[in-house]
Amino acid sequence: MSAAPGDPAHPEPTVLHVGGASPYDVVVGHHLAGRLADLVGDALRVAVICPEALTHLVDDLVGPLLDPLPDGMDERDVTVLAVPDGEEAKTAEVLVACWEGLGEEGFTRSDVVVTLGGGATTDLGGFVAASWLRGVRVVHVPTTLLAMVDAAVGGKTGINTSSGKNLVGAFHEPSGVLCDLALLKTLPRAELVAGLGEVVKCGFIADPEILRLVEETHPDELVPGSPVLRELVERAIRVKIDVVVADLRETGGEGGHPGREALNYGHTLAHAIERAEEYEVRHGEAVAIGCVYVAELAHRAGSLSAEVVERHRAAFRRVGLPVTYDGAPFDVLLATMRVDKKARGATLRFVVLDDVGAPRVLAGPSEEHLREAYLAIGGFV
Ligand SMILES: NC(=O)c1ccc[n+]([C@@H]2O[C@H](COP(=O)([O-])OP(=O)(O)OC[C@H]3O[C@@H](n4cnc5c(N)ncnc54)[C@H](O)[C@@H]3O)[C@@H](O)[C@H]2O)c1
Ligand SMILES: O=C(O)C(=O)C[C@@H](O)[C@H](O)[C@H](O)COP(=O)(O)O
Ligand SMILES: [Zn+2]
């Protein structure tokens, strides 16, 4: 993450502004560590929440926070709170351990949490910041494609419980997000591909140009450093920003648009699959399966053409994501889907499409359609 100003191989950073009551910027570019100091400002204490496996990235990130110190500051304490990798970090036990860490440091309301990691880390670290002293500042430095295009933006934070995914959390917007594309170079291919699941999702719910790029680009070109990957990243972030600015707290959209729930496209089944697989399946992979499932459901409910259903299969497959699932009986998944956040009482609600870019909520689909759609993605009842 060392600074490389004016690097001719990389264009200037793109600054994407998120408006609203707590505005902030999402910066996309290369070698952005130098920008962290401005975001941290005059905080005396900084806690970096980071998976153990990525702590080697911390020195480059925090170096500019310590040298030079802001005018008038003669010391700054930087603490690293190392957390378990991936989904294992999103537990009540790890949350409590982070609170204890902040308590030991005497963390006050003017101090800042920095998250460095994938979406599991930004979800956990964001919730630590949301809950400590009822809310301290957080800056996200996402290190996976998925966290850059989705998890770090928009202020949804949380952890899992034994009943399911993200069932405890808060809306807590970051003070800034630094998407340093240089960090993606060490990301395993399977993790990059998982991030493309959320990118393709954004294509279906709001930006057909994303689909065109995916359909016309050879998948081998979707690598860190490629202009097309950068364009996909920026387009997906723009989709997310537009949605969260209009409906930060997921209270609903206007004119039939589902509002923020649109970003949950494919997630009702995806979260149930993740739980059934004890989080051994990547989130982005489960989202791909979940999107194909809900496309099949919409088709049966009479809203989506067979052609667009097949376009789902082709687009997710093209980037290397799964589009079938047969790991759990339908009733097991249905039981988990009943505690999805979009459900209301006994009524299941899904985000479906009438067409590309035209999402809406389907409430209370028939159990027959739910089962048929599961069979259509290779499942069993
Ligand atoms: N809050 C939101 O709006 C939101 C949106 C989407 C997803 N999510 C959540 O995000 C999580 C998934 O995030 P994810 O896909 O980033 O997974 P993740 O955080 O589990 O990271 C995946 C793996 O990549 C490794 N890794 C991360 N950065 C790396 C790098 N630069 N080089 C090498 N290895 C690296 C991690 O150590 C981990 O093993 C899920 O919990 C999901 O629910 C939240
Ligand atoms: O930001 C949102 O809103 C989303 O729904 C984005 C999803 O990609 C993300 O996985 C989110 O964490 C799901 O939220 P949840 O409310 O279903 O837990
Ligand atoms: Zn998601």
**Could you tell me if 139 and 198 lie in one domain?**
no
How would residue 355 be classed by pLDDT, with cut points 50, 70 and 90? very high
**Could you tell me if 225 and 259 lie in one domain?**
yes
Closest atom, ligand 2, to C-alpha of 167: 18
Which protein residue has the closest C-alpha to ligand 1 atom 23? 86
Ligand nearest to the CA of 241: 2
Is the pLDDT at 6 greater than 60, yes or no? Answer: no
Whole-angstrom distance, CA of residue 175 vs CA of residue 139: 5
Q: Does residue 3 lie in a domain region?
A: no
Is the pLDDT at 7 greater than 90, yes or no? Answer: no
- Report ipTM (2 d.p.): 0.99
CATH number at residue 316: 1.20.1090.10
The reply to whether ligand 2 has any atom less than 6 angstroms from the CB of 143 is no
- pLDDT, mean of residues 2-9: 52
Instruction: Tell me the per-residue pLDDT of 42-74, one tens digit each, with 9 for 90 and over.
Output: 999 999 999 999 999 999 999 999 999 999 999
- pLDDT, mean of residues 1-7: 47
104-131 CB burial, b ≥16 within 10 A, e <16 = ebebeeebbbbbbbbbbbbbbbbbbbbb
* Nearest to 272, CA basis, from 293, 253, 256: 293
Q: Does residue 177 lie in a domain region?
A: yes
Asked if 205 contacts 258 with a C-beta cutoff of 8 angstroms, the reply is no
Is the pLDDT at 2 greater than 50, yes or no? Answer: no
Binding-site positions = 85-90, 119-123, 143-144, 156, 165, 198, 267, 283
pLDDT at 119: 99
**Could you tell me if 154 and 198 lie in one domain?**
no
The reply to whether ligand 1 has any atom less than 6 angstroms from the CB of 155 is no
Q: What angle do CA 291, 295, 297 make, to 5 degrees?
A: 115
Whole-angstrom distance, CA of residue 175 vs CA of residue 137: 6
Instruction: Tell me the per-residue pLDDT of 70-120, one tens digit each, with 9 for 90 and over.
Output: 999 999 999 999 999 999 999 999 999 999 999 999 999 999 999 999 999
How would residue 10 be classed by pLDDT, with cut points 50, 70 and 90? confident
Asked if 210 contacts 202 with a C-beta cutoff of 8 angstroms, the reply is yes
Which residues make Cβ contacts (< 8 Å) with residue 95, sequence separation at least 6?
124, 127, 128, 131, 159
Q: Tokens 């500051």 sit at which residue? A: 73
- pLDDT, mean of residues 208-237: 98
**Could you tell me if 135 and 241 lie in one domain?**
no
Q: Does residue 78 lie in a domain region?
A: yes
Give the rounded percent of residues in the chain with a pLDDT score beyond 90: 96
Q: Does residue 245 lie in a domain region?
A: yes
pLDDT at 247: 98
Asked if 263 contacts 286 with a C-beta cutoff of 8 angstroms, the reply is no
From 186, 201, 218, the end of a domain falls on 186
Instruction: Tell me the per-residue pLDDT of 311-344, one tens digit each, with 9 for 90 and over.
Output: 999 999 999 999 999 999 999 999 999 999 999 9
**Could you tell me if 194 and 274 lie in one domain?**
yes
**Could you tell me if 214 and 116 lie in one domain?**
no
Active site residue 134: yes
**Could you tell me if 269 and 356 lie in one domain?**
yes
Taking the whole predicted model, whether its pTM rises above 0.90 is answered as yes
Q: Does residue 51 lie in a domain region?
A: yes
SS3 103: helix
**Could you tell me if 105 and 171 lie in one domain?**
yes
CATH number at residue 41: 3.40.50.1970
The reply to whether ligand 2 has any atom less than 6 angstroms from the CB of 308 is no
Active site residue 191: no
The reply to whether ligand 1 has any atom less than 6 angstroms from the CB of 25 is no
Question: Pick the catalytic residue: 172, 201, 238, 260?
Answer: 260
Instruction: Tell me the per-residue pLDDT of 284-319, one tens digit each, with 9 for 90 and over.
Output: 999 999 999 999 999 999 989 999 999 999 999 999
From 127, 155, 186, the end of a domain falls on 186
Residue 20, phi-psi category: left (phi > 0), alpha (psi -120 to 50), beta (remainder): left
Mean model confidence pLDDT for the chain = 96
Bridge partners, 80 (sequence order): 48
In degrees and rounded to multiples of 5, residue 304 shows phi and psi of: -115, 135
From 152, 186, 220, the end of a domain falls on 186
Q: Does residue 381 lie in a domain region?
A: no
Structural tokens at position 98:
């982070």
Number of compact structural domains in the chain: 2
How would residue 11 be classed by pLDDT, with cut points 50, 70 and 90? confident
Which protein residue has the closest C-alpha to ligand 1 atom 44? 151
Q: Does residue 5 lie in a domain region?
A: no
The reply to whether ligand 1 has any atom less than 6 angstroms from the CB of 153 is no
**Could you tell me if 164 and 201 lie in one domain?**
no
**Could you tell me if 226 and 95 lie in one domain?**
no
Task: Tell me the residue range of the domain where 210 lies.
Answer: 189-376
The dihedral built from the CA positions of residue 164, 167, 171 and 174, taken in this order, carries a sign that is negative
**Could you tell me if 225 and 364 lie in one domain?**
yes
Give distance in angstroms: CA of 199 to centre of ligand 3.
Answer: 10
In degrees and rounded to multiples of 5, residue 360 shows phi and psi of: -155, 170
Alpha-helical runs (H) found in the chain: 36-40, 58-66, 92-105, 119-131, 145-146, 189-205, 208-216, 227-246, 267-276, 283-300, 306-318, 330-337, 367-376
In degrees and rounded to multiples of 5, residue 59 shows phi and psi of: -60, -45
Is the pLDDT at 218 greater than 50, yes or no? Answer: yes
Is the pLDDT at 12 greater than 90, yes or no? Answer: yes
pLDDT at 357: 98
Active site residue 264: yes
Instruction: Tell me the per-residue pLDDT of 364-379, one tens digit each, with 9 for 90 and over.
Output: 999 999 999 999 999 9
Q: Does residue 6 lie in a domain region?
A: no
Give the DSSP H/E element, type plus range, for residue 304.
none
Instruction: Tell me the per-residue pLDDT of 125-160, one tens digit each, with 9 for 90 and over.
Output: 999 999 999 999 999 999 999 999 999 999 999 999
Ligand nearest to the CA of 1: 1
**Could you tell me if 202 and 72 lie in one domain?**
no
* Nearest to 101, CA basis, from 124, 120, 118, 122: 124
